[in-house]
Structure 1
Amino acid sequence: MFDVLVYVYEHYWRPDACPEAGLLARKLSAVGFEEEEIADALTWLDGLRSVSTAPMVAPADGSARVLASAERERFGPEALGFLHFLESAGVLTGAMRELVLDRAMAVPRAPLTLDDFKVLVLLAFWSRGEEPDSLVLDELFVDDADRVVH
């Protein structure tokens, strides 16, 4: 599923540029993705679209969020640490944090790896037509093994 989501992110720069589900499914199938992966990704994207456009009472920025046990189980330790890092760095507002948590809970398997969680964060920003600053993008895209130490 995450490979499909990355493909969508890389090929459709804005959510409104993304074709409707039937056409997108055909395109993804033609590229070589498996039917089950496509179905999972389209279901997840449909949920993202619904949550992104639904009116929500946004928590105050800087508010504390205690995760339910089911939410804690969904995250691997690295992904949970990265969530806390993004919050403490001020990258995730309260509303964006809730969007990311909602979409993390919609992933069909647990725990989330750090790489999978980073994809969810990217798509949360993408769904709102926002782009995090360049340092955060670097954290989301560049693998630690590929970093050059100065």
Structure 2
Amino acid sequence: MFDILMYLFENYIHSEMEVVVDHEELTDELTRAGFHHQEINKALAWLERLADLQDSGKTPYLQTSPQAAYRVFTADEQARLDTSSQGFLMYLGQIGVLDFSTREMVMDRVMELDAKQFSLEDLKWVVLMVLFNVPGREDAYSQMEGLLFEEPEGFLH
């Protein structure tokens, strides 16, 4: 399912091509690209849920946005996100890329993925997809895009 999301993001959204809105046409294209119908349906449902998260009436955690909130990861979240991914989410909050609402949107989307393994790179893409879909977060999206594509300089110790 994650491969389909990446395919859609890179080929439609991120490349600024016109997005195909007809589900049948999109499903046909994804099938021709080699994806299975069951996975296509899961990916499209994932994207629909992402769009639904923007409606604060449907997500209780978006109704309030505390200025300073400490995030405690549940056991399931800790099983999905390793310590480097958890630390990266905290870092994104500290530098202002994610706020309370967008962080919870990211966690919601991460936990709905059916990936057996989930890496820090995968998390970065999910953050980018979420920020792309949140109006008014263009600066955070640009900052996250820089974090995703930047190459480290010098030696890493």
TM-score normalised according to structure 2 size: 0.77
Rounded to whole Å, the distance in 2 between the matches of 1:20 and 1:78 is 38
Post-superposition Cα deviations, 1:16-51, rounded to whole Å, max 9, x if no partner, equal 945143332122112222334323311211221222
1:108 matches 2:114: yes
Do 1:75 and 1:110's aligned partners in 2 also have CA atoms closer than 8 Å?
no
- Shift >6 Å, 4+ stretches: none
1:2 matches 2:6: no
Describe the SS at the equivalent of 1:28: helix
Aligned twin of 1:53: 55
Aligned twin of 2:131: 125
Higher alpha-carbon deviation: 71-80 or 99-108? 71-80
Unaligned segments of structure 2, at least 5 residues: none
TM-score normalised according to structure 1 size: 0.80
Identity of aligned residues (%): 30
1:141 matches 2:141: no
Relative CO higher for 1 or 2, CA cutoff 8 Å, sep ≥ 6?
1
Choose the corresponding residue for 2:39, options 34, 37, 40.
Answer: 37
The structure-2 alpha-carbon separation of the partners of 1:21 and 1:52, relative to structure 1 and needing over 3 Å to count, comes to farther
Q: Which amino acid aligns with 1:9?
A: F
Rg: which structure is higher?
Answer: 2
The structure-2 alpha-carbon separation of the partners of 1:62 and 1:21, relative to structure 1 and needing over 3 Å to count, comes to farther
Aligned alpha-carbon RMSD (Å): 2.4
Choose the corresponding residue for 2:99, options 90, 93, 97.
Answer: 93
Rounded to whole Å, the distance in 1 between the matches of 2:149 and 2:109 is 19
Report the number of matched residues: 145
Aligned twin of 1:23: 25
**1:94: how far off?**
0.7
Higher alpha-carbon deviation: 111-120 or 84-93? 111-120
Q: Which amino acid aligns with 1:149?
A: E
**1:99: how far off?**
0.5
Do 2:2 and 2:115's aligned partners in 1 also have CA atoms closer than 8 Å?
no
Do 1:75 and 1:113's aligned partners in 2 also have CA atoms closer than 8 Å?
yes
Describe the SS at the equivalent of 1:53: coil
